[in-house]
Structure 1
Amino acid sequence: MASYGSFLVFAVVLVLVPGPDFAVVTKNTLASGRWRGAWSAGGVAGSNAVQGAAAATGLGTVIVRVEPLFEAIKWAGVAYLAFLGVQAVRSAIKGEYASLGGGGGDDDATADRRAAGAALGGWRQGFLSNITNPKVLVFYLAVLPQFLGGGASTPVLLVFALSHALLSLLYLLTLATFLHRARRVLTRRRVRRGLDAATGTALLGFSARLAAEH
């Protein structure tokens, strides 16, 4: 329990450090509201759970040791973060945003399809941006043994890894809720363009940093 408490403190600090997940959830919440932002958070947490389970069961070690596979995941992450960054920067340059009250004329079926599309798109971006970040898998492989040692059982490793995924989900859902409540101010055209430019630049920076790391 002492090790678990220490790990939770460490995990909270790690979760609070802004990174690609923060940028993706921010981008999606500002673009389409809390619903899409929340699903982006769910995608990130889902990927964390998958990578944590892979590390706990030994699959993560295999992935890291197969260098071509690990490099493929890394460069897929570089490309995807760059793609999201370019999207945000292009949005800032165009400066064309729908009003918050838009879409009121849609019928129920159209509104449902729009909501489903926003949910799926948000989840996909959150999941892909995280699952293609090899640093997440390396984190689980490198950090968990520091708290548990080398002889921990798979169920214990899973509890630790899934606790980090849960903390990440709670934090990102809180972020999406806060951004949604402030959206009336944050989605003013001038403010939104600045946020899109900042978010896009951050995503491009994360992409470049991931490309440079070994």
Structure 2
Amino acid sequence: MYWTEFLTVALIHLLAVASPGPDFAIVVRESVAHGRRAGVWTALGVGAGIFVHVAYSLLGIGLIVSQSIVLFNALKWVAAAYLLYIGIKALRARPADPAAAELQADEATRSSRGAFVTGFVTNGLNPKATLFFLSLFTVVIDPHTPLAIQGGYGVYLAGATALWFCMVAWLFSQQRVRAGFARLGHWFDRMMGAVLVGLGIKLAFTQLR
């Protein structure tokens, strides 16, 4: 019964998590500066941070939707505007200077706990994630969907996020791949920018059910 909704959530999340942002930057930095192990622990921290957003989204969704249509519309427009902003910004991405990606490895040992906390805090304080989850749980997910099902979505989102960034950590711990991404990454940014602009426009015209 909820498979269509789940697939919609999964698709939107895939597009959002693949869009470069603070989480992406911190995982890349940790992977390049401290190695694959630190990068993976940072990725797991980012995934755990998702539960922060899921928790307040679940706690606040009933109040937002049932108490104030004005507040709902305000939130919808803010979220849509943010998606348009980051989408247009990504569309304007320019080729990176290959030399800028040449970060020197840090000889100091990075603790697993330190890497995990860095990822967790970065995601937990990420305003992009805040607006994304509030819009996801107020617009995409039907407010009548049982909390247990919505919680299941949250578990999936956390796990998928962690898995994605573990892949990023593995990728960017390889020197040759990192250098190649530095040359071609702007095309990826532009593609994701077009997708985000489309999502922003769709969100702006979404009506409360």
Structure 2 residue ranges without an equivalent (≥5): 31-38
Specify the code of the residue in structure 1 equivalent to 2:40: R
TM-score where L is the length of structure 1? 0.64
Aligned residue number for residue 84 of structure 2: 78
- 1:188 is aligned, of 165, 178, 181, to 178
Say yes or no: does 1:11 pair with 2:26: no
User: Mapping of 1:1-214 within 5 angstroms?
Assistant: 6-7=1-2, 10-11=5-6, 14-15=9-10, 18-24=14-20, 28-32=26-30, 33-55=39-61, 57-62=62-67, 64-66=69-71, 67-80=73-86, 85=90, 89=93, 92-95=95-98, 96-99=100-103, 102-104=105-107, 106=108, 119-125=120-126, 128-133=127-132, 134-140=135-141, 142=142, 145=144, 157-183=146-172, 184=174, 187-194=177-184, 196-213=185-202, 214=205
Distance 1:63 1:102, change over 3 A: farther
Task: Give TM-score scaled by structure 2 length.
Answer: 0.65
The RMSD of aligned alpha carbons is: 3.8
Are the aligned partners of 1:30 and 1:180 in contact in 2 as well (CA < 8 Å)? yes
Percent identity of paired positions between Structure 1 and Structure 2: 6
Task: For 1:20 and 1:181, locate their aligned partners in 2 and report how far apart those are by CA, in whole Å.
Answer: 20
Counterpart code for 1:97: A
- Asked if structure 2 preserves the Cα contact closer than 8 Å seen for 1:20 and 1:206, the reply is no
Structure 1 residues 201 and 78: alpha-carbon distance in aligned structure 2, compared to 1, 3 A threshold: same
Q: Partners of 2:102 and 2:154 in 1: how far apart?
A: 33
How far did residue 189 of structure 1 move?
A: 0.7
**Structure 1: 5+ residue stretches without partners:** 1-5, 149-156
